[in-house]
Amino acid sequence: MPRLLVVVPNWIGDALLAQPLLARLHEKHPGVRIDALAPAWVAPVVRRMPEIAEVIETTFRHGALELRERWRLGRSLRSRGYDQAIVLPNSWKSALVPFFADIPIRSGYIGESRFGLLNLPYRKPKGRGPMALHYAKLSEKPGKAPAEPLPQTRLRVDLKSSEATAARFGLEGRYAAFCPGAEYGAAKRWPGFAELADRVGLPVVLLGSAKDADACAGIGAKNLAGRTTLDEAIELIACADCVVTNDSGLMHVAAAVGTPLVALFGSSSPEYTPPLTARARVVWLGIECSPCFARECPLGHLRCLREISADRVLKELQNLGSE
């Protein structure tokens, strides 16, 4: 049985957009065992992927080289006998553990002079395309395109456990989950959540990390941002009637657990990082300066998000309910 090690991306959303690659690897190699090397803040999501046999959690600090620690981890993995490693992050240091583990085939996109660390290199395409497709190309030989459409994302969620989590946080009956934050920056945060919470007609719970405190301020809702684990947030999203979210990691979580969602795009593009589900409505104005992919609006007006009205989002929620 072939054994693969996948070094997953360092962002929750990117890790979920890599899941179609994992599904394709199982399709092409029946019986394959895929383990994942994942940072601690992404590991809870990866553990819920049915394609993954084991998650090897890393504690490397973001941006730190920590060469000795990577060498030790790599040497500890030698006895596992992996046949191939697929390195999804673009950094030089992300390819070190498979190299130190003496994994015979080490594939990934060329970046940061990784020749030698990777011995099955793929060239990056020009321009931006769908990120899920970008990752899925690594399931084929270099230069060959994967068959489309790609599989949708999916996470394992136990209904009883999710209901128990909702009850533990005082959420009984129907509710909507709002995710007002976005780790990348303010240019991805819609400013209309407070108005929407007053008009949605359901109790609202706010989800996100402690870093989302500013984005959640002033919204009349039950604020659980920073008060849940990632596993608890996943289960609360799974129990929600609907989700309204910026382009963020939790948007991709909502897609993967099958909860109907309205996804709001501003500085980023749904052509690049769309929610991979048929149960999503995407709102993106596509104005002349969008997408700019900036963390802060470079023109200072944030029209790409400010001009999305609460009426528009309510209409999309109603459309979700009629489908």
Q: Which helix (H) or strand (E) holds 162?
A: helix 159-168
Return the residue matching tokens 């596992």. Answer: 80
CA distance 86 to 138: 8
Apex CA 204: angle with CA 284 and CA 226, to 5°?
Answer: 90
Number of domains in the chain: 2
pLDDT at 263 > cutoff 90: yes
Rg over CA atoms, the chain: 20
Q: Say what the pLDDT of residue 192 is.
A: 97
Q: Which amino acid is at 268?
A: S
- 45 is in which domain, residue-wise? 3-139
What mean pLDDT is predicted for residues 279-293? 96
Q: Which of 1-5, 61-65, 127-131, 247-251 has the lowest mean pLDDT?
A: 61-65
Q: Are 185 and 65 contained in the same domain?
A: no
Closest CA to 77 of 37, 109, 132: 37
Q: Are 15 and 112 contained in the same domain?
A: yes
Residue 147 lies in a domain: no
* Neighbour tally for 140: CB within 10 Å: 15
Residue 233 lies in a domain: yes
Q: Are 39 and 119 in contact (CB under 8 A)?
A: no
Q: Say what the pLDDT of residue 109 is.
A: 95
Q: How far is CA 216 from CA 93, 161, 317, in A?
A: 35, 26, 20
Q: Say what the pLDDT of residue 206 is.
A: 98
How does strand 204-206 pair with strand 261-265? Answer: unpaired
Q: Are 165 and 76 contained in the same domain?
A: no
Residue 125 lies in a domain: yes
Q: Are 115 and 196 contained in the same domain?
A: no
| % of the chain beyond a pLDDT of 70 | 99
Beta bridge partners of 106: 85
Question: Which of 139, 174, 204 represents a domain boundary (last residue)?
Answer: 139
Question: Which of 87, 107, 139 represents a domain boundary (last residue)?
Answer: 139
CA distance 241 to 203: 10
pLDDT at 242 > cutoff 80: yes
Residue 153 lies in a domain: no
pLDDT digits (tens, 9 = 90+) for 139-184: 999 999 999 999 999 999 999 999 999 999 999 899 999 999 998 8
Beta bridge partners of 105: 84
Q: Say what the pLDDT of residue 61 is.
A: 86
pLDDT digits (tens, 9 = 90+) for 107-122: 999 977 788 899 999 9
Q: Say what the pLDDT of residue 125 is.
A: 84
Q: Are 263 and 309 contained in the same domain?
A: yes
Residue 210 is given by DSSP the state G
Q: Say what the pLDDT of residue 323 is.
A: 57
Q: CATH number of the domain that 179 lies in?
A: 3.40.50.2000
| The pair of three-digit structure tokens given for residue 166, joined into one six-digit string | 């909702």
| The pair of three-digit structure tokens given for residue 279, joined into one six-digit string | 């149960």
pLDDT digits (tens, 9 = 90+) for 294-316: 999 999 999 999 999 999 999 99
